[in-house]
């Protein structure tokens, strides 16, 4: 499934725990990581659901080439996060800040972060990357870039930090000797859905074969990317202002109160799920997140009702006003 990267809505900025473009259009980061954006990688990204790329190249990639690749990513509607580790930060930031779609990932050193702020005339998103004990709380850190396999942590961090949380490294689909890069596609898709329905954002990773995507770019070979595209298509149709509601439901749920619910059931094999909603009637969809199908119930229930399910894993339920 190929996603439309859409028109240019201006630079991305943080608004509360979510992101918006300068014109107010909501932005949901659908992220993947590659070392650099060479022509083959750009072609793959243009046909993918991903609208944000973490460029993980070392400082050995020249600034001229990095500048060129960031411009090429912008031309296909993809936000580009630059790793500043090991680089001359003032020179790099001053050079690249002219791109409206650039983001920064800075070292944890406060002096380095000060350099970014002083040189970034475009006031782009700025983060550091680390585990759950990383200090993401500084006011100039716009969002958290989390390295953690347990994506359920995003809901607590979002609540505690009051800023967006991106699980930028929760593992990768692949066949790598590293266990973190040898996940099944089912497991990675589960983590993406789980983190998103807990109010966060979760990055894709892929590590298949001798030249894996996350280390070389080039071509996507796995089964998770089309399913990320499917989730993106679902959220593209959702109303703005979605938020995780942990106090109300026993499954990961995004909600626009009184209007929209998206509940992910993960590995649980429920035969049915009860709901009690005010008003109505409601339109109910049963979503098979792995097979990428949506089945709309014939009835339009009101008040208290149950949704019958096939007792299989990786299903979700979407409820909207009829």
CATH no. for residue 179? 3.20.20.80
Select from 181, 206, 236 the last residue of a domain.
236
| Residue-wise pLDDT tens digits, 143-162 | 999 999 999 999 999 999 99
Statement: residue 191 has pLDDT above 80: yes
For the ranges 59-68, 88-97, 186-195, 241-250, the lowest mean pLDDT is seen at: 241-250
DSSP 251-298: SEEEEETTTEEEEE-TT---SEEEEEESS--EEEEEEETTTTEEEE-S
Whether the Cβ atoms of residue 172 and residue 203 lie closer than 8 Å to each other? no
User: pLDDT confidence of 73, banded at 50, 70, 90?
Assistant: very high
Do 311 and 210 reside in the same domain of the chain?
no
pLDDT of residue 195: 97
Do 97 and 34 reside in the same domain of the chain?
yes
Q: How are beta strands 252-256 and 243-244 bridged, if at all? A: antiparallel
User: pLDDT confidence of 279, banded at 50, 70, 90?
Assistant: confident
Do 277 and 169 reside in the same domain of the chain?
no
In a domain, 5, yes or no: no
In a domain, 1, yes or no: no
Do 168 and 56 reside in the same domain of the chain?
yes
Average pLDDT of the chain, as a whole number: 95
Report how far residue 243's alpha carbon sits from residue 139's, in angstroms, rounded to the nearest whole number. Answer: 22
Number of domains comprising the chain = 2
Select from 208, 236, 264 the last residue of a domain.
236
Do 229 and 248 reside in the same domain of the chain?
no
Judged by phi (left if over 0) then psi (alpha if -120 to 50, else beta), residue 10 lies in: left
Q: Greater confidence, 115 or 7?
A: 115
Statement: residue 58 has pLDDT above 90: no
Statement: residue 1 has pLDDT above 50: no
Domain region containing 269: 243-321
Select from 236, 262, 287 the last residue of a domain.
236
| Residue-wise pLDDT tens digits, 197-254 | 999 999 999 999 999 999 999 999 999 999 999 999 999 999 988 999 877 788 999 9
Q: Would you call 4 exposed, middle or buried from its count of C-beta atoms within 10 A (0-12, 13-18, 19+)?
A: exposed
DSSP 164-193: -EEEEES--EE--SSGGG-B-HHHHHHHHH
Statement: residue 2 has pLDDT above 60: no
Do 131 and 216 reside in the same domain of the chain?
yes
Do 52 and 140 reside in the same domain of the chain?
yes
For residue 311, the domain's CATH number is 2.60.40.3950
Statement: residue 101 has pLDDT above 60: yes
DSSP 64-80: HHHHHHHHHHHHTT-EE
Do 247 and 229 reside in the same domain of the chain?
no
pTM of the model: 0.95
Do 220 and 304 reside in the same domain of the chain?
no
Do 70 and 185 reside in the same domain of the chain?
yes
Q: What is the mean pLDDT of residues 268-282?
A: 92
């Amino acid at each position: 499934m190929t996603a439309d990267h859409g028109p240019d809505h201006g630079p991305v900025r943080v608004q509360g725990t979510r992101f918006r473009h300068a014109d107010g259009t909501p932005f949901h980061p659908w992220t993947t990581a590659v070392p650099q954006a060479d022509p083959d990688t750009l072609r793959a990204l243009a046909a993918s659901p991903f609208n944000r790329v973490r460029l993980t190249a070392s400082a050995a990639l020249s600034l001229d080439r990095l500048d060129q690749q960031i411009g090429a990513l912008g031309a296909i509607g993809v936000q580009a996060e630059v790793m500043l580790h090991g680089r001359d930060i003032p020179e790099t930031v001053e050079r690249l800040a002219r791109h409206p779609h650039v983001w920064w990932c800075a070292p944890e050193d406060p002096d380095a972060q000060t350099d970014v702020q002083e040189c970034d005339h475009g006031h782009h998103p700025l983060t550091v990357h680390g585990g759950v004990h990383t200090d993401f709380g500084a006011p100039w850190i716009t969002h958290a870039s989390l390295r953690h396999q347990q994506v359920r942590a995003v809901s607590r961090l979002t609540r505690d930090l009051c800023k967006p949380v991106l699980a930028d490294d929760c593992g990768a689909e692949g066949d790598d000797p590293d266990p973190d890069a040898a996940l099944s596609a089912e497991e990675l898709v589960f983590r993406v859905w789980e983190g998103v329905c807990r109010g966060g954002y979760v990055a894709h990773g892929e590590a298949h074969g001798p030249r894996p995507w996350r280390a070389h770019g080039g071509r996507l070979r796995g089964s998770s990317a089309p399913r990320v595209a499917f989730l993106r298509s679902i959220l593209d149709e959702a109303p703005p202002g979605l938020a995780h509601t942990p106090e109300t439901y026993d499954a990961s749920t995004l909600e626009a109160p009184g209007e929209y619910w998206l509940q992910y059931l993960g590995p649980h094999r429920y035969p049915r799920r009860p709901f009690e909603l005010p008003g109505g009637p409601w339109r109910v969809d049963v979503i098979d997140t792995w097979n990428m199908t949506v089945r709309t119930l014939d009835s339009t229930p009101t008040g208290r009702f149950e949704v019958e399910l096939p007792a299989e894993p990786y299903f979700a339920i979407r409820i909207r006003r009829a």
